[in-house]
Structure 1
Amino acid sequence: MGQPVVHFEVIGKDPEKLRSYYGELFGWTFDTNSPVSEAVSEAGNYGFVSQSTTSDGVGIPGGVGGGQDYEGYSLFYVGVPNVEAALQKAESLGGTRQMGPSSNPKAGLVIGHFTDPEGHLIGVAGPE
């Protein structure tokens, strides 16, 4: 099997409004107490979707965050063993690095963003 999608996120300038919207639309609730990289969202303004998987494990964890100084986007993250290596490979295949690696020591996680040759934003995430 290839590397799995491990996380999704929606980032915008008014994360509280976005969380309200997606909560109303999909019945999601959010936990805003966990740390995230400042490259992704303002501290305390990122909400991980609570109970994002069903009891049988179907579903992908995700979050909604951002802040006034963050451009809006939505993306998915693919789990990789080494974020820097994945970003270098993406570049060698015609992609463009957008961010990272960016470390979140409190979560033991490193993330990066790149665009594919057609400009689609993709995330990669791996251990610190």
Structure 2
Amino acid sequence: MPRPVHFEIHATDPERAITFYTAVFEWSFERSGPEPYWLVTTGEGPGIDGGLAQREGPMPDPDASVNAFPLTIEVSDLDMLTREVEQAGGTVVSAKRPITGLGWIAYCRDTEGNLFGVLQPDPSVE
């Protein structure tokens, strides 16, 4: 059964977001790779860690809708999973792309418009 393994925060101003999450939750951030991306460590014990990315596109209007950071679910076959998302009435909003040393990721929306990530691990990805 696929389980959540990662969350991701998209930020218009990543440094401002890092300052916020460090002050409020004492999370730590480490820059990862050439893209503006940081790994987020949320603490010890049960739970999951995540990432912080430069937002692609304009900042959502906070008064118009709920804005959230996406949860990522580990899957064994990303291509099959994205087909199943579409067959179930969801949409693929960001096509499969590589994450060096980690695997392949895509972003989807469910039938209610909620964004989530799906990750197929593959450490050989460059």
Same fold (TM over 0.5): yes
Q: Given the alignment, which residue of 68, 72, 77 partners 1:77?
A: 72
Distance change (3 Å), C-alpha of 1:11 and 1:17: same
Give the Cα separation in 2 of the matches to 1:80 and 1:86.
Answer: 7
* Alignment CA distance shift 1:93-1:112 (3 Å): same
Contact kept in structure 2, 1:12 and 1:71, CA below 8 Å: no
TM-score by length of 2: 0.81
* Number of the residue aligned with 2:104: 110
Change (3 A) 1:71 1:111: farther
Shift of 1:78: 0.5
Please tell me whether residue 123 in structure 1 is matched to residue 117 in structure 2: yes
Is contact 1:95-1:114 (8 Å) kept? yes
**Percentage of pairs with the same residue:** 28
Q: 1:70 to 1:48 in 2, by over 3 A?
A: farther
Q: AA paired with 1:86?
A: L
* CA 124–71 in structure 1, closer or farther in 2 if over 3 Å, else same: farther
The residue aligned with 1:91 is 86
| Aligned match of 1:24 | 23
Q: CA deviation at 1:70?
A: 4.0
* Aligned position for 1:38: none
TM normalised by structure 1 equals 0.80
- The amino acid across from 1:8 in the alignment is F
Taking the aligned partners of 1:84 and 1:3, their CA distance within structure 2 comes to: 15
Is the 8 Å Cα contact of residues 98 and 113 (structure 1) preserved in structure 2?
yes
Q: Which letter does structure 1 place at the counterpart of 2:54? A: G
Using CA pairs under 8 Å that are at least 6 residues apart, name the structure with larger relative contact order, 1 or 2. 1
Pairwise CA RMSD of aligned residues?
1.8
Partner of residue 46, structure 2: 58
Structure 1 counterpart of 2:110, one-letter code: D
Q: Provide the secondary structure at the position in 2 that maps to 1:18.
A: helix
